[in-house]
Amino acid sequence: MPPQDAAEEPAVEMTDGPYRVTGLPLLRRRIAKSERGESLVWETVEHLEVGHTYYLCRCGGSSNKPFCDGSHNRNGFDGPPAPDVGYDVRARAYEATGLVVRDDRSRCAHAGFCASKLTNVWKQVSSDAVADTAVRSQVMAAVSRCPSGALTFRLPDSDQDVEDALLPAVSVVSDGPLFITGSVRVTRSDGSEQESRQRVTLCRCGASDNKPWCDGSHAAIGFADPS
């Protein structure tokens, strides 16, 4: 590959094969779980050494995950991006006491922060329990940990989602997708841009029906790439 200009804006580009990543740190992260298998918090387990530009597998076949090894040329990978109509169009709103939760099921990466053995975000926002400040705080915390941005929340008197200003980075999720934070520019190989958001997850198992976005297919096919 030709050398890249170090001044290039941080971005992720979808080529006919891998993701071309420019100017972003690469981390390995995993979900810490309770003794009952409930998702609790994100844990960063490794900072990977990469150059200014690097290539990440998105066909699921690389023997050098998370990096591309050219397997897409051998396994017939076909990854044209799905149309991107925007989160505001896709999301369904759930109004509750003190907040509005929005949910886009097409982008769910099945990280599991939205549910426990006892309840889930949807039950909480549709019940009177959300009037309790402790329950409302639980909902807000759960939504904030959603890596795909499928879940967001806003306050009733606002038209802006409440989100942390996350640092631009690419995180490799154990046995799961790429977790992109910080409103990183994501483009197609022709230069057209996808919707920029604080949190998105990109498929790297090759099986998503909503490429390049993760739709949880890695769990269904048993995709494995532990940290």
Sign of CA dihedral 98, 99, 100, 106: negative
Q: List, for residues 146-184, the tens digit of each pLDDT value.
A: 999 999 999 998 999 999 899 999 999 999 999 999 999
Going by DSSP bridges, is the β-strand pair 19-22/151-154 parallel, antiparallel, or unpaired?
unpaired
Q: Report pLDDT for 81.
A: 74
The residue-averaged pLDDT of 44-58 equals 96
User: If pLDDT is split at 50, 70 and 90, which confidence band does 2 have?
Assistant: very low
What DSSP string runs through 160-202? Answer: S-----PPPEEEEETTS-EEEESS-EEEETTSPBPPP-SEEEE
What is the DSSP-derived secondary structure letter of residue 54?
Answer: E
Q: Is residue 1's pLDDT more than 80?
A: no
Q: Report pLDDT for 7.
A: 52
- Residue ranges per structural domain of the chain: 11-30+46-83+166-221, 87-154
Cβ-Cβ contacts under 8 Å for 221 (sequence gap 6 or more) = 205, 207
Is the previous residue joined to 66 through a cis bond, with omega within 30 degrees of 0? yes
Q: Which two tokens stand for residue 39?
A: 């998702």
Q: What is the pTM of this model?
A: 0.91
